[in-house]
Chains A and B, each alone.
Chain A
Amino acid sequence: KAGVTQTPRYLIKTRGQQVTLSCSPISGHRSVSWYQQTPGQGLQFLFEYFSETQRNKGNFPGRFSGRQFSNSRSEMNVSTLELGDSALYLCASSWEGFADSPLHFGNGTRLTVT
Chain B
Amino acid sequence: QQQVKQSPQSLIVQKGGIPIINCAYENTAFDYFPWYQQFPGKGPALLIAIRPDVSEKKEGRFTISFNKSAKQFSLHIMDSQPGDSATYFCAASRGSTLGRLYFGRGTQLTVWP
Q: Which residues of A contact B (CB under 8 A)?
A: 4, 31-33, 35, 42-45, 48, 50, 55-56, 58, 90, 92, 94, 96-99, 101-108
Q: Say yes or no: A45-B44 contact (C-beta < 8 A), given A98-B96, A102-B34, A102-B49.
A: no
- In whole angstroms, how far apart are the Cα atoms of A110 and B30 in the complex? 30
- In whole angstroms, how far apart are the Cα atoms of A1 and B40 in the complex? 23
What size tier do the contact residues of chain B reach?
Answer: 20 to 34
Contact A97 B42 (CB under 8 A): no
- Write the chain A residue with the least CB distance to B106: A42
Contact A56 B43 (CB under 8 A): no
Contact B105 A42 (CB under 8 A): yes
**What is the total of A-B residue contacts with beta carbons within 8 Å?**
70
Q: Which residues of B contact A (CB under 8 A)?
A: 34, 36, 41-46, 49, 89, 91, 95-106
Contact A94 B98 (CB under 8 A): yes
Which of B43, B46, B49, B98 sits near A90, CB closer than 8 Å?
A: B43
- Write the chain B residue with the least CB distance to A44: B103
Which of B44, B89, B91, B95 sits near A99, CB closer than 8 Å?
A: B95
B31 to chain A, nearest CB (A): 10
| Residues of A with C-beta under 8 A to B49 | 102
